[in-house]
Amino acid sequence: MVFNMTNDNAIEVVGIQKQFGTQVAVDDVSFTVGKGEVFGLLGPNGAGKTTTLRMITTLLRQDQGHILVNGFDTVTQAPRVRQQFALTGQNASIDQDLSAMENLVIFGRLHGLTRADARSRATELLGDFDLTNSASKSLDQFSGGMRRRLDLAVSLIGNPSILFLDEPTTGLDPRTRTQMWTAIRRLVQHGTTVVLTTQYLEEADQLADRIALIDHGRMVALGTPSALKQRVGGLHLQIEVPELRWVAPAQAVVQAVLAGPTEVQNRKVSAYLDDDGFRAVAAITTKLQDAGVPLSNFAVTEPSLDDVFLRMTVGKN
């Protein structure tokens, strides 16, 4: 494997554009992915996630812009780029009649490992993906989730520095999805850079260090999950008092600390917090105590990624 050691970015995407006929599928998208980072491309159906991934993985050539993968250009150095990564979903060639172990050994041999090295790497990967007890089962006895995990293991047999996962958990039930997430997290601990596409907000929230939110071919937001959530309105404070007569004094305290509007609903007083939210919360609790206002509930919550998604994307339909 060849690395460009002068650069901390695994991937640099600069101003890429792709048009199919008159339809612009990807429009002036730029981002970088740091080495060892989990980067999520999130967006509704038809947003341009797969097209972006296909350009980065040299399966499709962009009309404009350029892409570097570990320093190699996807257009002028495509064969070198292909040595840098693995792509899941490519392993349709997994043999259904063989066991998980046999499949892994064959792929190991295809990657140039000796038989002994292929076996020890296969054993290690089966352990990493909780498949040790199923190592000698044939694949027709595998559940969908086990298959996906084997797929991941096969992708990793050549120790790729970058792994692309196109919708890794689409169609899996919640328990199997959680198992896949654990498997993906584990591989990041080994230093692999991961780029995943997903339509699931929770998946991006659970796995990604940073998320590019894409809609209609354009990047509408880029940042950590919590930074994206903050863009939607920041932390939300909600105070509940046991009796209505305490609502006015509670509201007065909140208004004395926060500049923004407060909302009152029944026995609840709520408000959005600005950047200095936690200091405001500390001040509010102290003042409530000083004023002798009793509380029945006190909560500070983050907006969800759902709020971000709905606020920032339109979707195809």
Ligand X SMILES: Nc1ncnc2c1ncn2[C@@H]1O[C@H](COP(=O)(O)OP(=O)(O)OP(=O)(O)O)[C@@H](O)[C@H]1O
Q: Which of 50, 62, 161, 270 binds ligand X (CB under 6 A)?
A: 50
Q: Which stretch binds ligand X (CB under 6 A): 43-51, 153-161, 181-189, 261-269?
A: 43-51
Distance separating alpha carbons of residues 288 and 8, to the nearest angstrom: 49
Q: Which stretch binds ligand X (CB under 6 A): 17-25, 79-87, 228-236, 252-260?
A: 17-25
Residue 82's H or E segment, with its range, is helix 78-82
Structure tokens at 72: 């190699």
Q: Shortest approach of ligand X to residue 315 CB, angstroms? A: 10
Q: Shortest approach of ligand X to residue 41 CB, angstroms? A: 8
Distance separating alpha carbons of residues 205 and 211, to the nearest angstrom: 8
Query: How many CB atoms lie under 10 A from the CB of residue 44?
Result: 17
> Exposed (0-12), middle (13-18) or buried (19+): which is 22, by Cβ within 10 Å?
exposed
Minimal CA–CA distance to 33: which of 148, 168, 188, 153?
188
Q: Which of 43, 168, 225, 303 binds ligand X (CB under 6 A)?
A: 43
Between 168 and 303, whose beta carbon lies closer to ligand X? 168
Per CB under 6 A, 17 contacts ligand X: no
Distance separating alpha carbons of residues 221 and 201, to the nearest angstrom: 14
Q: Which stretch binds ligand X (CB under 6 A): 6-14, 18-26, 89-97, 111-119?
A: 18-26
Q: Which stretch binds ligand X (CB under 6 A): 7-15, 20-28, 85-93, 200-208?
A: 20-28
| Residues at the contact surface with ligand X, assessed by CB under 6 A | 20, 23, 25, 43, 45-51, 199
